[in-house]
Chains A and B, each alone.
Chain A
Amino acid sequence: GDSVTQMEGPVTLSEEAFLTINCTYTATGYPSLFWYVQYPGEGLQLLLKATKADDKGSNKGFEATYRKETTSFHLEKGSVQVSDSAVYFCALKVDNAGGTSYGKLTFGQGTILTVHP
């Protein structure tokens, strides 16, 4: 079945450090890939997405590139801020109507990011 694996956390960084959170996936069909962010006590917010191989999603200084050859969608940010502290979820959605997961999002286990001043 479809699955997403994220690097184990938590991740603790100092402000202005470089961030990488690894994400790899297994999917039938042709997935779209997403990063969602969850701030304490809040719901999930879409951070960025990529819908086909070699696409790069970007938002608020975060970037991730859809790598079909390595089945990866790693999240990066060049300089993190304290306000980036949150839980980050990698997710996929299969767009194949003949597959077993039409429409639903499959999430990774989440990575807790803490940024210190």
Chain B
Amino acid sequence: AAGVIQSPRHLIKEKRETATLKCYPIPRHDTVYWYQQGPGQDPQFLISFYEKMQSDKGSIPDRFSAQQFSDYHSELNMSSLELGDSALYFCASSWGGPSTDTQYFGPGTRLTVL
């Protein structure tokens, strides 16, 4: 079965650079969630979209922005990168809006900021 696809899988950036992470949800899924997992930490919710509209917002820095496109894929844009942004970024998708129980996670993008 098709799963959530994230690209790139690994990304290395310098401080103050920008990064764009992409997420392709499972076909027919209309809801996308972004989570950040720091080293040895639990995943923290960043932001979510349902039918291309932002549905919830968590602890996402102002330097980050995200959107969901007409084909339901989503991109997380990160600017003025800091060392503390080094983390594993997960995307998850579901069908039927945020009230749906099950979120399916992608393999994650590991971002390293030097």
**Among A41-49, A63-71, A77-85, the stretch in contact with B:** A41-49
Q: Are A89 and B43 in contact (CB under 8 A)?
A: yes
Q: Are A43 and B56 in contact (CB under 8 A)?
A: no
Q: How many A-B residue pairs have CB under 8 A?
A: 59
Whole-angstrom CA separation of A44 from B43 in the bound complex: 10
Chain B residues with CB under 8 A of A45: 105
What 1/0 mask marks residues of chain B from 69 to 103 whose CB sits below 8 Å from any chain A CB? 00000000000000000000010100001110111
**Among A11-19, A20-28, A93-101, the stretch in contact with B:** A93-101
Q: Number of A residues whose C-beta is below 8 Å from B?
A: 23
Whole-angstrom CA separation of A93 from B98 in the bound complex: 10
Residues of B within 8 A of A (CB): 4, 31, 33, 35, 41-45, 48, 50, 55-56, 58, 90, 92, 97-99, 101-108
Q: 3 closest Cβ contacts across the A-B interface?
A: A103-B98, A104-B45, A107-B42
